[in-house]
Structure 1
Amino acid sequence: SQEFADVYCRSIDLPESALNTQISESLISDLITELNSPILDPIVAYRHGHRWIETCTPLPLEEPASEQALPLVSKGVYLIAGGLGSLGLVLAEYLAKTVQAKLVLTGRSQFPARAQWTEWLKNHSKQESTSCKILQLQKFEEMGAEVLVAQANVADLEAMTIVINDAESRFGKLNGVIHAVATDPLEIFHSISETTEVECQQQFRGKVQGLLVLDTVLQNKSLDFCFLVSSLASLFGGVGLTAYSAANVFLDHFVQQNRQTRCPWFSVNWDGRVPNQSSSGTVSTEMTVTPTEDIKIFKSVLASLGLKRAVVSSRNLQPRLDQWARRQILSKKSSDLVPSPQADSSQKSQQQQYSRPALESVYRAPSTETEKKLVEIWQNIMGIERVGIDDSFFELGGDSLVGIQVISRIRQTFRVDLPMTILFETLTVASIAEHLDTTYLNTPALATALGNAASDREDVEL
């Protein structure tokens, strides 16, 4: 419903008895009232005459008084699925430093064998991705840890069975598991109309199928914890995040359904983490979780295993829930959600706009017709007076909801089938303009759009 603003969705949970016996008059009355009320609560449950809604209780991020309060074993054996990813390596370093852990790190990609690390570093730059990981793993060993890197897809039952058997043969009993399989950012964003079975399988493979595989191979093992890295997308949804959100929802509900198992499963809905910086833009760390905060989160949650689920937000969570899950902002018509290129310019001039915020990038004005048109689109939709062509979309306050409006307007204005992912891959007007000019330079649609831009016409139609 976030992509189709006139479509409203909610879940109304009734007691099992309502399906087996005659529904009471009071429950029927409650349902009629519910269905005729504005949709602010996406999940509602009726039990014994009471209406229940899902809420989040804020808790301070307090670290335990000492490491001894954590369910960590000195020289314990810990499996990290996705252990060579960004978060996996952060958590692995903490375990290496704190308890000199025996680390079993899995990843899908091929990685040099331990005996080849020295030779690899001789023949490759230290800035190269694999070299950086080897140097980190060597650092873990210097801390007293032992490291086993295994190439295995977490969704492959046979491969993961072999990994765990090999690990226990080499290191001994497994003490804990962390499921931190990352998703390629370029595979995440797809509008509903662009989401096919292929896109769904890409998202489900690591998180859904991978979790089911872990559940199978860990059935008869007594572990101290099984830590699942989920996402805030399971609470917020998100424009272009249909499959990704569903995969993370599965993680959270799996934990709820497995409360009575021997293995203490729990999930953490992580906020966006600090990404690798790129030449095209940066993201403010005030809106993301830093590696230092990753460790604080990990320690705090480990010290509170009874919670089963924790939500981590870099900003006040309730306004974000109101915006996304409770649709206080999305109660507009779809014509308001995606501004039309036919909108009267006088109406735009009356729209309140704000001064350009303090950014890491220096203001650089647009020079080409493509840049000028893109800047105008960003300014109108984001309500900012002066957008520079090097300004980061996220630093300006953009998110996936704003992103779909920007991309929709670009598609309409330039008459091109621009993928929604382009905004999240490039982040700046300059990069998008370069992509448009390079990819669509000789197309009649772009030539027409730029010709109209020169005369300030905005009556471009699909």
Structure 2
Amino acid sequence: STVLGLLKTIPQEMPWLSCRHIDLPIADVEVNSSYIWQELWDVSPDLEIAYREGKRLVSGIETVDMTSAPQQELPFKQGGMYLLSGGLGGIGREVAKYLLEHYQARLILVGRTPLDEVSDKIRAYQQLQQLGTVTYQPVDICNLEQLQSVVSEVISEWGVKLDGVIHLAGVLHEQLLLAETEETVAKVLRPKVLGTWALHQLLKDNEDGLFIHFASVNGFFGGMSVGAYAAANSFQTAFCNYQKTHSCLESYCLAWSMWDEVGMSRGYQMKELTRAKGYYGISPLQGMYSLLAGLSHGENNLLVGLDGSKAMIQAYGEKCENLQQLTGYFSAATSKVKLPEWLVYDRFGSPSHCQWEQLEVMPITETGEVDRDQLMGGGVGERTQPRNETERQLAAIFQEVLGVSSVGIHDNFFELRGDSLKMTQVVSRVRETFNEELALSWLFESPTVAKLSDRLAPTGNGSLSLAQQLQTASKNQENREEIEL
């Protein structure tokens, strides 16, 4: 299961490398060999395939209607005792506060390090203590003996059993796969793999125990520069399924898109890319509401915070409401009766009906092409044209690589369907044009012509040179710490 997140990251970082995961049944060698041979010749973009009863199955997602009536009571107990790993992170505080206020719960918060007297965490801990019974214990969640010792002491003191675990802890580490080492990968996998297993051991014999996993959608989709993190989260999602089928625990896994400057997402460099791919930013309060909705509807595995209008999400089967209308325009010189009732299929095979509109005059650009921006309702007026030679050169590079007729200085590279391969092409051409050593990560952080132009600005204008900025970014990356969710 861990390899799935890693495998789905590979083509995002190395588009030239094709790979897929094939889940074969227990069958004759000849049968399974035929399945493998079929996959070798299959040109679909499917990355995760399973064969069952002669049928080829692919992984996908479907929408859950959270507006319907709740299907069950929330699984929390009045006065119950719950252990929260990473409980003093942004969303962890919201969960702890809710349990204290609404269920008078007793909480064991565990974290990697002791609390600093002046830190934000100690203040959050003191505020939670005012709401009810809470203790914080600095403990390695991967060390089962330490966990058992802490829980045993608290049980003796409070006189109640452990009713549930909410696992929020994790480590986000940004690194391209080719630059990863055994140590950096192990550091990311540890809390999600070993930590999950150790926490499971604490609770596995509790017949009515509750285990809630907080994971990331990267476990399902993979993610540029977060391959190890994606692998860790794909394990956590799969382990939730294991708990449901091999234990007596009530287990749920909520995989979140991206926290809005909270916990591990604070300072995350790929936010522009993740938004363009279809990941909404989630506030702690929104996260809390989503948690309660998911639990009340009995959904054991949820992906939370996805934008169904984005191509990547739709490719996995997500069908959002029909918010866009395909419209075809023709001039007065063309007879409408000559136009057939076209049925257009999108890249995912979904049919889209075309609505025709007749114009007196077809708008044309200076280059003689149809002005699509004007047809779409005035986009040209909102688009800011390049203001100097640097912006003009960058805009030209964007246009050529992206295959578009016009690029404004504030147009987002990723929203114009830029991908990892096109990123490499842009960076290469910027290096050639400006004779600058441009790092690939700068396009993530500066995905518009205007922002990229600022980073190429000379030092004399009050901005750092590109070399200085790269050095600063490198130091910032080295100084990033593990933080709790």
When normalised by structure 1's length, the TM-score is 0.68
Residues 254-276 of structure 1 deviation map (CA, whole Å, 9 limit, x = unaligned): 22233221223332221112125
Structure 1 CA distance for aligned equivalents of residues 210 and 49 of structure 2: 30
- Which residue does 1:163 correspond to in 2? 150
Amino acid at match of 1:51: R
Task: Tell me how far 1:46 sits from its aligned partner.
Answer: 1.8
Whether 1:205 aligns to 2:177 is: no
1:6-33: CA deviation from partner (whole Å, max 9, x where unpaired): 3211122221133xxx534xx6555544
Q: Which runs of 5+ in 1 are unaligned?
A: 121-129, 330-347, 444-462
Give CA deviations for 1:239-284 in whole Å, capped at 9, x if unaligned: 2222121111111222223322122333222111212588x99978
Deviating more after overlay: 315-324 vs 6-15: 315-324
Q: Which amino acid in the other structure matches residue 251 of structure 1?
A: Q
Measured after TM superposition, the shift of residue 192 of structure 1 is: 2.3
Aligned to 2:452: 429
Q: 1:47 aligned to 2:62?
A: no
Q: How many residues align?
A: 393
1:430-450 residue CA offsets vs partner (Å, 9 max, x unmatched) = 77447997465599xxxxxxx
- Structure 1 pair 48–441 and aligned structure 2 pair: CA distance change class (3 A): closer
CA contact (8 A) 1:231 1:271 kept: yes
Task: Classify the secondary structure of the residue corresponding to 1:8.
Answer: coil
Report the CA distance shift for 1:237/1:173 in structure 2 as closer, same or farther (over 3 A): same
Q: TM-score, normalised by structure 2?
A: 0.65
> Secondary structure at the residue paired with 1:175?
strand
Residue 109 of structure 1 is matched in structure 2 by: 113
Alpha-carbon offset, residue 213 of structure 1: 2.1
Determine whether 1:94 maps to 2:124.
no
Mapped partners of 1:281, 1:48: distance in 2? 41
C-alpha distance 405-300 of structure 1, shift in aligned 2 (>3 A): farther
SS in 2 for 1:69: coil
Residue in structure 2 matched with residue 246 of structure 1 by the alignment: 231
Structure 2 CA distance, aligned partners of 1:322 and 1:299?
A: 26
1:270 to 248, 256, 263: 256
**Residues 400 and 8 of structure 1, relative CA distance in 2, 3 Å threshold:** closer
Q: Please report the RMSD computed on the Cα atoms of aligned residues, expressed in angstroms.
A: 4.5
Aligned to 1:36: 41
Deviation at 1:221, TM superposition (A): 3.7
The letter for the 1-side match of 2:147 is: M
Between 1:261-270 and 1:419-428, the stretch displaced more is 419-428
Equivalent runs, 1:368-387 vs 2, <5 Å: 385-387=407-409
CA offsets, 1:125-148, max 9 Å, x none? xxxxx23x4444444344x32221
Counterpart for residue 454 of structure 1: none
Equivalences for residues 207-222 of structure 1 within 5 A = 207-222=192-207
Partner residue, 1:319: 311
Secondary structure of the corresponding residue to residue 140 of structure 1: helix
Partner letter of residue 4 of structure 1?
A: M
- 8 Å CA contact 1:288–1:314 kept in 2: the answer is no
SS in 1 for 2:165: strand
Which structure shows the bigger proportion of residues in strand conformation? 2
Q: What's the secondary structure of 1:45's corresponding residue?
A: strand
User: Which residue does 1:58 correspond to in 2?
Assistant: 63
User: Using a 3 Å threshold, how does the CA distance of structure 1 residues 403 and 163 change in structure 2: closer, same or farther?
Assistant: farther
Cα 1:192–1:266, aligned 2, differ >3 Å: closer, same or farther? same
Return closer, same or farther for 1:8/1:222 CA change in 2, 3 Å cut-off: same
SS at match of 2:191: helix
Distance (Å, rounded) in 2 between the aligned partners of 1:309 and 1:94: 22
1:183 partner letter: V
Q: Which residue of 1 aligns with 2:356?
A: none
User: Does 2:29 match 1:16?
Assistant: no
* Structure 2 unmatched ranges of 5 or more: 1-10, 319-345, 348-366, 470-485
Residue type at the aligned position of 1:96 = L
Asked whether the 8 Å contact 1:203–1:244 carries over to 2, the reply is yes
Which residue does the alignment assign to 2:283? 290
C-alpha deviation, 1:302, in angstroms: 2.0
Q: Which of the numbers 286, 294, 297 marks the counterpart of 1:301?
A: 294
Q: Is the 8 A contact 1:228 1:267 kept in 2?
A: yes
**Mapping of 1:344-383 within 5 angstroms?**
none
AA aligned to 1:12 is: I
- C-alpha distance in 2, partners of 1:87/1:406? 37
Q: Which whole-Å CA distance do the structure 2 matches of 1:368 and 1:156 have between them?
A: 58
Separation of aligned partners in 2, 1:194 and 1:351:
45
1:260 aligns with 2:246: yes
Q: How does 1:376-415 map to 2 (within 5 A)?
A: 385-388=407-410
Question: Any idea what SS the aligned residue of 2:109 has?
Answer: strand
